[in-house]
Every structure is written in structure tokens, then in C-alpha cells.
Structure 1
Amino acid sequence: MKHFILSFIALLFFVFESIFAQLFASDVFGADKILVPRFIMIFVFFLTMFGSRKIGMLYGAILGLTYDAVYTEILGVYMLLIPFLAYLISKCMKILQNNILISCLVALLFTAVLEVVIFQMNIILSFADMGFAEYMDRRFVPTLLLNLVFIIISCYPLKRIIEKLDLQGELE
């Protein structure tokens, strides 16, 4: 039952992320700004912080592969990057206090890391044609602001749901 609930939540975020990207395209917030919702990644980050590292990495790999198959041209980038970032988050949260403010800041930091790594991968593969300064202005800052709002709205409810499911000891 636990994994059914988590899978349902992940599906909701996946669908909501797609709907958000379609409805609130760049022309709503300004023609020169690019907003990229990272709701699935944030869900995996919170799952790792408040649940279990293994569950977070497993969901990260599955959702990353799904994200690659649906949205990107190359399979494997998100499938490898999201579980790796989930692993790093689990290590960071062993050092840091696990309160809601720190969790929000860590989720935002790792969303920023994800964005920069994806941009660099796109530069290497010649999929991006903008410079780093233009990227920071047009995509990075608006994307971080959007995802910060999502983190603030969803952090406490996700924390409560994940802690209620008691994922510690799963997959052991």
C-alpha cells in the first residue's frame, strides 16, 4: 500500500508538471523567460530526505527513466542523475539538521545543481545554443523561483505523508 500511495503521488506530480509546462508557457511570464518545473525531482529529493535513501534512489531511477523517455532525446541522463543527486542528498542530510527550512534549502540547492548539470550536458551535446549568462537570466533564475514556490507549497504536506508511510527499513 505504501508504494501504491507513493506511485500515485509521483504520477500526480508527473502529470501536473506536464500540464504546468503546457499551460504556463513562456508567453505568460514574459516571452524571454523559460520556466522549467522540476516537480518530480523535488518529490524524489523529499522522498530521500524524509523517507529512505534506497526508496528515493529507486524512485529516482524509475522516474528519471520515465522522464527521459517522455521529454528528452537521450535516455539515461535523468535516470542516472536523479538517483545520484538523491544519494548526495542523503549524505548531506546526515550532516545537516533535518528540519523543514534546511530541507527546503537543500532541495532548492540540488534543483539548481540539476539545472546546471543538465545545461552543461546540453552544451556538450550541442542541444543548447545560448551562453551561460543568457542561460542564467532566461532560464536558471526563473526556474529556481518557480521551483522555490513549489518547494514552499509542497514541503510540509509531502513531509507529513512520507513520514506517515514510515519508509525506514524498506528494501533492506
Structure 2
Amino acid sequence: MLQSAKLKYIYPIGLFIAFFLDGIIEQLFSRQLFQYPYSMVSNLTIIWMVLSIFFEGESHIHFVMWAFIIGLAFDWYYTGIFGVNVFIYPLTVILVRGIEPFLKHRFLEIFFVTSLAVGLSNALFYVVFQAFHFANVSTAFFIGYAFIPTIILNLSFLVIIYYPVKILFRKTRGTNSRIFK
């Protein structure tokens, strides 16, 4: 029980660290990430949420609530347009939570679900921005020069942080979980 209580504090701290790292990465590496015509967006926040869903065990973290809060923070701090990530992040979390029980928590399965979550959130972001005329690029241009590079960037991040996050959750929760058999 004590392990579970620690995780309830570690999850939001990690979520806000990922939130700020998204902005820091995009600021520090803006020349590389946004070199015309390519555009890559860091989604460490989504990766953290996906990994946490897979590694949480039985601690009962309120992922949808936290996704709503971080979506609101993203809209307020980064985009300035309220309502986009407030709905995209919880929707992504609901999708991942719906898929997670059917998987065996292997790296390749988590890799696939993460690519699905990052892809869904970026595609929904594009659709919303197109619908409200905040973006004016063709779908083919978006897919070729923003969507695919963003997926590749974030899956690279996943490969780098997967085992450290898994170890963090293992040490926080103990090793008697169904995931770490």
C-alpha cells in the first residue's frame, strides 16, 4: 500500500517534468525540429502517460483527470487556444486504458500503443486546427512533413526512456506486480 501511495506522487511530478521537457526540447532544438519543410513536435507528456498506464499496476491513478489538467496546462501555456488538448489528452488516455488490458505489456506492444497515442493526438490536433482555420496545410503535406517525423522523434524518445521509466515504476511499486513477472 505504501508503494502505491508513493506512485500517486511520482506520477504527477513525472507528468509535469515531461510537460516542461516538451517545451524545453522544442525551444533548445527548434532549428533542428522545425527546419523547413519539416516539423517535429515533442510528445514526452503523452509517452509518460502511456508508460504510466502500462506500469501503474494496481495503484489506481486518476489518469483521465490528470490528462485533463495537463491538457489545460498545455493549452494555456503552449498553444494559447483553450479546449484542444483538454479533450485530446483525456481521449488518448481513455483509448490507451481501453487497449491496455488486452496486451501482455511487452516492449513492442507498448511501442505500438505509444505510436498510436502520439499519432492520434497529433492527427486530432491537426483536424481541430484545420476545422478552425488555424492551420493551412494540405493533409499530404502534414503527413509527410509533420506527422511521420513527429512519430519517429517520439518513438526515439520512447526507446531512450522506456527502461528508466520501467525501473522507476518497479522500484516505486515493488516487484510483485503482474507486469514484472
Relative distance call for 1:99 and 1:53 in structure 2 (3 A) is: farther
Q: TM-score scaled to structure 1, two decimals?
A: 0.87
Query: How far apart, CA to CA, are the structure 2 residues paired with 1:19 and 1:74?
Result: 20
Query: How far apart, CA to CA, are the structure 2 residues paired with 1:65 and 1:74?
Result: 10
Query: How far apart, CA to CA, are the structure 2 residues paired with 1:49 and 1:85?
Result: 14
Aligned counterpart, 2:3: none
CA contact (8 A) 1:61 1:82 kept: yes
Aligned counterpart, 1:123: 130
Query: How far apart, CA to CA, are the structure 2 residues paired with 1:13 and 1:61?
Result: 15
Which letter maps to 2:32? V
* Alpha-carbon shift at residue 91 of structure 1 (Å): 1.4
Matched, 1:150 2:157: yes
CA contact (8 A) 1:53 1:86 kept: no
Q: TM-score scaled to structure 2, two decimals?
A: 0.83
Aligned counterpart, 1:28: 32
Which letter maps to 1:66? A
Q: CA RMSD in A?
A: 2.1
Query: How far apart, CA to CA, are the structure 1 residues paired with 2:50 and 2:104?
Result: 15
Identity %: 24
Extract unaligned runs of 5+ from structure 1.
none
Which letter maps to 1:18? G
Query: How far apart, CA to CA, are the structure 1 residues paired with 2:169 and 2:32?
Result: 34
Query: How far apart, CA to CA, are the structure 1 residues paired with 2:99 and 2:48?
Result: 17
* Alpha-carbon shift at residue 116 of structure 1 (Å): 0.7
* Alpha-carbon shift at residue 4 of structure 1 (Å): 3.1
Aligned counterpart, 2:93: 86
Aligned partner of residue 82 in structure 1, secondary structure: helix
Aligned partner of residue 33 in structure 1, secondary structure: coil
Aligned counterpart, 2:55: 50
Query: How far apart, CA to CA, are the structure 1 residues paired with 2:136 and 2:42?
Result: 21
Which letter maps to 1:28? Q
Matched, 1:38 2:43: yes
* Alpha-carbon shift at residue 54 of structure 1 (Å): 4.5
Relative distance call for 1:37 and 1:18 in structure 2 (3 A) is: same
* Alpha-carbon shift at residue 53 of structure 1 (Å): 6.5
Query: How far apart, CA to CA, are the structure 2 residues paired with 1:49 and 1:84?
Result: 16
Query: How far apart, CA to CA, are the structure 1 residues paired with 2:100 and 2:156?
Result: 22
Which letter maps to 2:43? R
Equivalent pairs counted in the alignment come to 167
Aligned counterpart, 2:168: 161
Extract unaligned runs of 5+ from structure 2.
1-5
Which letter maps to 2:50? F
Q: Aligned to 2:22, which of 17, 21, 44?
A: 17
